[in-house]
A and B are shown apart, each in its own frame.
Chain A
Amino acid sequence: MRRAVAAFVATVAGLVVLLSFKTAGTKSVDRPVALSGTSAGTSDNGTPPSASANPGPAASPSPSATASPSASPTPRATTAAPTKTVTGGSFTVSEGFRTFGSVQVKVTLVNGKITKLQAVDYPNRDPRSSEISQYSIPVLAKEVLAAQGTNIDVVSGATYTSQAYAQSVQAALDSAKS
């Protein structure tokens, strides 16, 4: 009996120590580490983005964001249309070596401001993945709109989706600048 208690306590303690060491200190994806993504506009794994067939969870842009272009159009912006739509690269969502799918985000910019995000691809091959996508991607979109960048919080329970999402958005923003 004493041995059973010792084994239980040791196991729980070991688990807590291991998990604590693995727990993120900071909760934001400041600089998304390149997992296995490619640069903007290309798909790295041949999975065709299911944009047309499956519109997916798209963030509804906040009214204030859509209103912004008319508020103060930059005087010098004469060459290009103020609205620009860029699709970021496809980034794999993987936990360790396990791949759930990939995330690809279409970003709409109005005068350099992010106004709309649409996930054209996201993990949905198995029930758990699509469930995670269903709740995490709208949250991520809201976060990006609010932060106007990829300095966002990871959605709890959707760490890898969050990372891939931020990477795809960042790739889109990078290609929009160039």
Chain B
Amino acid sequence: MRQAIQRQQIAGPPLGRPQAPPAGPVGPALTSRLPSALLAAMAIGAMAVVLLWWHDTPQLHGFGDWLTNAGRITGLLAGYVVVVLLVLMARIPSFERHVGSDRLARWHSMGGRYTVNLAIAHTLLIIWGYAVSAHEGLVPQTGQLLTQYPDVLMATASLGLFVLVGAVSIRAARKRLRYETWYHLHFYTYLAIALSFSHEFSTGADFQANLKARVLWSAMYIGAAVVLLWYRFVVPVRTMLRHRMIVESVVHEGPGVYSVHVRGHHLLELATQPGQFFRWRFLTRDQWWQSHPYSLSAPPSDRLLRFTVKALGDHSGQLQRVRRGTKVFAEGPYGALTADRQTRRKTLLVAGGIGVTPLRTLFETLPGANGDLAFIYRANNARDLVFREELDTIARWRQASVNYLIGPSGAEGDPFVGRRLLGLVPDVHERDVYVCGPPAMVAVATAALRRIGVSRRHIHTESFEF
């Protein structure tokens, strides 16, 4: 029986149940501090790496020394940043929760580009520096490095892989690739890291006879590997065994928009915050290998989770054909667009298109008394509005306002033109503003908010693109 789409809601999450949200904001706590603390920790690590070089290096003489040592520093830094990049992507819950997956992904991609450039610089500077010191040409020096230095050939292959992954991650190239292709090419970085590791010890002046440095450096790599295995493999497997999630139903919500209801056990133990998402993986023959992030579109109950997807990519298109009873492998909860971001009593939620999903959940659960919540839902077309009924119900229950603004951007219905937002929400300056939607909409909305004088720290966004 392949009855995938069920038009009536079999087991919709309870709506408007008397679960009174706490009054007053919880306070930013970790969410405001952890990102800067993490940045500081990364910087301190980089300084420690430079210090290792400083400690091991006597005075320099001449141009060749300069080049060689610039090459050594860039090489050491590349070896360090690569580990940082892994840790950023390790799905460490506190990072996901308080820094935010979108920000982590942004840092990862910036750091990734930087690392590829560091590795290239390292290679060129070492060749040039050795050639200058030995009074040799660049070509014979390169040949010598490749053939006579231990593990340098492997490291060169590693550089090639890094450059390849870097090249396909460049925006222009990435647009032409399927997400899955790009994603799987990324796995080659593990190979690249493994290939480059041995030359760090066998030729690295800072490690050859410095046992302490070798131990610490290895510990850093092993630590990253353990964290990665733990959070990306062990924890999700445990989640699967404990919660035994399966697809309960797939519900059609609007044109190309489907909600997936996932049944499981002890789901409240996951401590999911409204506004968060999971990375979902359906264990069918053709889909098990890909996982995708989708926000919960309703507060979780102990037996049921609901997430909602708009059919955009290959994967979200396949979702509508997922059978009831399909086993689900979920990683999460992740995401920092939660009540933790609240700093004020009043809140405005601004949704664009399918970005409504986490905000729909927050609308139901955010702390706030009557009238503290306002919702703006922006879509190009009335048909694209989903959850209209649910939003109206919540609005009645919580005595909040919902504004549906429909029309192409720049037209009458567009609230982000000029100072229109101020007319819609006169007390916007007293509110935290949560914005969620497609990247372009988030950018336009943020600009509009800034224009009417809402400060950056009261605008909370999460981009759907990572």
Q: Which residues of A contact B (CB under 8 A)?
A: 3-4, 7-8, 11, 15, 18-19, 22-24, 27, 94-99, 126-128, 131-132, 135, 154-160
Write the chain A residue with the least CB distance to B130. A128
Residue pair A97, B60 in contact (C-beta under 8 Å): no
Cα separation A22 to B208 with both chains bound (whole Å): 21
Q: Which chain A residues border B73 with CB–CB below 8 Å?
A: 15, 18
Interface string of B182-222 (1 = CB under 8 A from A): 00000000000000000000000110111001000000000
Q: Which chain B residues border A127 with CB–CB below 8 Å?
A: 144, 148
Q: Decide if the interface of chain B is mainly helix, strand, loop or mixed.
A: helix
Smallest CB-CB A-B distances: 9 pairs? A96-B56, A157-B133, A156-B62, A97-B209, A24-B59, A98-B208, A97-B210, A157-B64, A98-B205
In this assembly, does B297 line the interface, its C-beta being within 8 Å of a C-beta of chain A? Answer: no
Write the chain A residue with the least CB distance to B59. A24
Cα separation A159 to B209 with both chains bound (whole Å): 18
In this assembly, does B280 line the interface, its C-beta being within 8 Å of a C-beta of chain A? Answer: no
Residue pair B57, A95 in contact (C-beta under 8 Å): yes
How many interface residues does chain B have, given as a range? 35 or more
Cα separation A43 to B291 with both chains bound (whole Å): 63
Residue pair A159, B59 in contact (C-beta under 8 Å): yes
List 13 A-B pairs, Cβ < 8 Å. Answer: A22-B69, A23-B59, A24-B61, A96-B58, A96-B206, A97-B205, A97-B209, A97-B210, A97-B213, A128-B144, A156-B61, A156-B64, A157-B133
Q: A23 with B66: in contact, given A95-B57, A98-B205, A156-B61 (CB under 8 Å)?
A: yes
Q: Which chain A residues border B74 with CB–CB below 8 Å?
A: 11, 15
**Interchain nearest-CB distance for A138 vs B (Å):** 13
Residue pair A156, B113 in contact (C-beta under 8 Å): no
In the complex, which of the residues B50, B113, B208 contacts A97, with contact meaning CB atoms closer than 8 Å?
B208
Cα separation A12 to B347 with both chains bound (whole Å): 45
In this assembly, does B54 line the interface, its C-beta being within 8 Å of a C-beta of chain A? Answer: yes
Residue pair A154, B61 in contact (C-beta under 8 Å): yes
Interface residues of B in 53-93 (CB under 8 A from A): 53-66, 69-70, 73-74
In this assembly, does B114 line the interface, its C-beta being within 8 Å of a C-beta of chain A? Answer: yes
Cα separation A45 to B207 with both chains bound (whole Å): 20
**Interchain nearest-CB distance for B359 vs A (Å):** 29
Residue pair A160, B58 in contact (C-beta under 8 Å): yes
Q: Which chain B residues border A131 with CB–CB below 8 Å?
A: 134, 136
Q: A159 with B208: in contact, given A4-B113, A23-B66 (CB under 8 Å)?
A: no
In this assembly, does B405 line the interface, its C-beta being within 8 Å of a C-beta of chain A? Answer: no
Additional pairs, 16, CB under 8 Å, beyond known A8-B117, A18-B73, A96-B205: A11-B118, A15-B74, A18-B50, A22-B69, A95-B56, A96-B57, A97-B56, A97-B208, A98-B205, A98-B208, A98-B209, A99-B208, A128-B149, A132-B133, A156-B63, A159-B60
Cα separation A24 to B208 with both chains bound (whole Å): 24
